[in-house]
Amino acid sequence: MGCHGSYDDRYPEDAAVFDGSTVTGAYDDAVRYNDAVMRDLYEHARAIPGFRDFTFFSDHGESVETNAAHDPGLFEPDMTYIPLYILPSGAARTAKPQPYAALRANAEKPWTNDLAYEPLITLLGLTPPHAVEPENDLASPDYDGDITRLRTCYGEREIAVEE
């Protein structure tokens, strides 16, 4: 069900932990429940013979406290903050140690799901019709995580937060 508003509709009542009378509490419960669902999916998937890795990322974030949700007309940089996790099997790490080492090295660098193509192609071991751009490949040691170059909304908006 994800974590879209109405947030309190995104989890069962008995899964509530935070103050659901506030939008932030309801959102936190939706995220917490989504995490539990993803954990259960991962546990199921990793038991399947030949399991390689489990990859999850959101299509967008939410601007919860401003009530802008994910409306690009009310764009806030926090709409670009998304979870990304890639949980490889031991066999996958052994078969392709370089991309997984690069992912670990790049774990704290900014990334946008607009750049999903490159690391997915790399991890899937596919040969695309054109070259993968290593500066956009989170699974490459040449990934460029400079936040000032990352954009969203069809390249129209910077994701960097001005301090």
Q: What is the pLDDT of residue 31?
A: 93
Residues pairing with 56 in the sheet: 85
* Interhelix angle 97-105/117-124, nearest 10 degrees: 150
In angstroms, rounded to a whole number, what is the distance separating the alpha carbons of residues 22 and 15?
16
Q: What is the pLDDT of residue 1?
A: 60
The domains of the chain are located at: 49-158
At 100-129, the pLDDT tens digits run: 999 999 999 999 888 999 999 999 988 887
At 130-139, the pLDDT tens digits run: 888 999 999 9
Higher pLDDT, 44 or 148: 44
Closest by alpha carbon to 58, among 79, 87, 73? 79
Q: How is residue 62 written in tokens?
A: 């939410």
How would you label 62-86 residue by residue, b for 16+ Cβ within 10 Å and e otherwise?
bbbeeebbbeeeebbbbbbeeebeb
Closest by alpha carbon to 146, among 90, 88, 106? 106
At 42-99, the pLDDT tens digits run: 999 999 999 999 999 988 888 888 877 787 787 887 888 889 999 999 999 999 999 9
Q: pTM of the prediction?
A: 0.84
Which phi-psi region, left, alpha or beta, contains residue 56 (left: φ > 0; alpha: ψ -120 to 50)?
Answer: beta
Closest by alpha carbon to 134, among 151, 119, 149, 146? 119
